[in-house]
Amino acid sequence: MKKIIKKIIKKLNKKEKIAIPYLIEEINILKGKTVLITGGTGDIGIAIAKKVIKTGGKVIITGTSEEKIKETCHMINNENCNGVVLDLSKLDSIKKCIDDAIKIVKDSQIDILVNCAGYNPRKDFFSTTEEDFDKTIAVNVKGTFFISQVFAKYLIDRKIKGHILNISSSSALRPAWSSYEISKWAIKGFTIGLADNLIPYGIIVNSLAPGPTATKMQNSSDASDLDYSTPIKRMATTEEIASLAIMLISDYGNLIVGDTIYATGGSGVISLHN
C-alpha cells in the first residue's frame, strides 16, 4: 500500500509535458531586407530578430535602454544586428529613432517595421490608475500610431513597397475591461485602417496576435508545461510566433492585407473541450 501511495505522489509531483512539433527552417525569404523591430529587447522581439537574420535579413532593434540594446545585439552575436534607443511615449523619440535607423543603413533602405513594443500594467478594472491607463495607451496605441505614420512616410517618399506588422494579442478577442485589452482592440482597428491607407502604395499591413506565450511577461520559460487556458493545453514558443511573423512580413504574406492572424492555440476561437 505504501508503495502505491508513493507512486501516486511521485506522479502528482511530476510536471507533465506536451510535445512541441519541430519547425522546418525557412529559406532565405528576407534576403536583402532590413527590418526595424520596436521592443526588440523583449523575448518575442529577440526571437523575431534572430529569425530575420536566419532568413537572410538584417535587423535594427529598439528599446528604452541603450545598455540592454547592446547586450541584446551582443547576445544575438551577429554583425547584421544594430540598435537604437526609442521611448514610444515621446513623439520626439520616434522621429529621432527613424532618423538614427536611416543613418545605420546609409545607402541602403529599411523595408519593414515590426511594432513589437508593448506595455501591460497587469491591473484589474478596479485597481487601474490613471497613470496605468495613460502609459498603456501612450505606448501601445499612440506610439504604434505615430511610428507607423513616420515610417509609412519614409516608405512612400522612397517608393519602397514594404511591410508593417503590428504584434497584437489574443486580448483583442476578449471583453475589454483592462487598459491593455482596450489597447489591443484599438490595434485591431488601426491595422485595418492603416492597411486601407497604405495598400495603394504597395505597403502591406497586418497584425499578429499571440495567445499565451512562454516569455518573462508570462513568468514562463517552458512552453511544454501544461496550460489549460488553451485547447492545445500549452503555451506558444517565441520561435513559433517569430516564424509566423516572418511569413507575414515576407513576400509570402503579400496576399494577407489588413488581417489579424491569431496564434492562440484555439483560445478565444473555439470552445474548450472538457
User: 76: part of which helix (H) or strand (E)?
Assistant: helix 66-76
Q: Does residue 180 have an active-site annotation?
A: yes
Instruction: Given the residues 22, 119, 154, 180, select the one marked as catalytic.
Output: 180
Is residue 256 within 8 Å of 246, Cβ to Cβ?
A: no
- How far does CA 160 lie from the centroid of its chain? 23
At 179, give phi and psi (nearest 5°): -60, -35
Q: CA 176 to CA 249: how far, in whole Å?
A: 28
Q: CA 168 to CA 223: how far, in whole Å?
A: 19
> How buried is 25 (Cβ within 10 angstroms: 0-12 exposed, 13-18 middle, 19+ buried)?
exposed
* Side chain identity at residue 207, one-letter code: S
Is residue 108 within 8 Å of 34, Cβ to Cβ?
A: yes
Residues carrying an active site annotation? 180
